[in-house]
Amino acid sequence: MCLAIPMQLVERRELAGVAELDGVRRDVGLALCPEARLGDFVLVHAGYAIAVIDAEEARKTLELLASIETEDPR
């Protein structure tokens, strides 16, 4: 199973950048999303931004992930 996490692009250098989520920053490759601009939300998987998504979709996805995290596994 693969999982991509929505993160906001906060720095950009050619086809590389830095994305942030909850204060955690990660270097990301932008070769698959050359259209991504500062402030955009991108789906990050294995160190690469694989898609640009809108802020509302990012919010919904992060809420869903948070709800899974708090579920009782029993």
What confidence score (pLDDT) does residue 58 get?
Answer: 96
What confidence score (pLDDT) does residue 14 get?
Answer: 93
d(CA 35, CA 61): 21
d(CA 57, CA 24): 20
CATH number of 5-69: 2.30.30.140
- pLDDT < 50 positions in the chain: none
Type of residue at 20: E
* pTM for this model (two decimals): 0.88
What confidence score (pLDDT) does residue 74 get?
Answer: 65
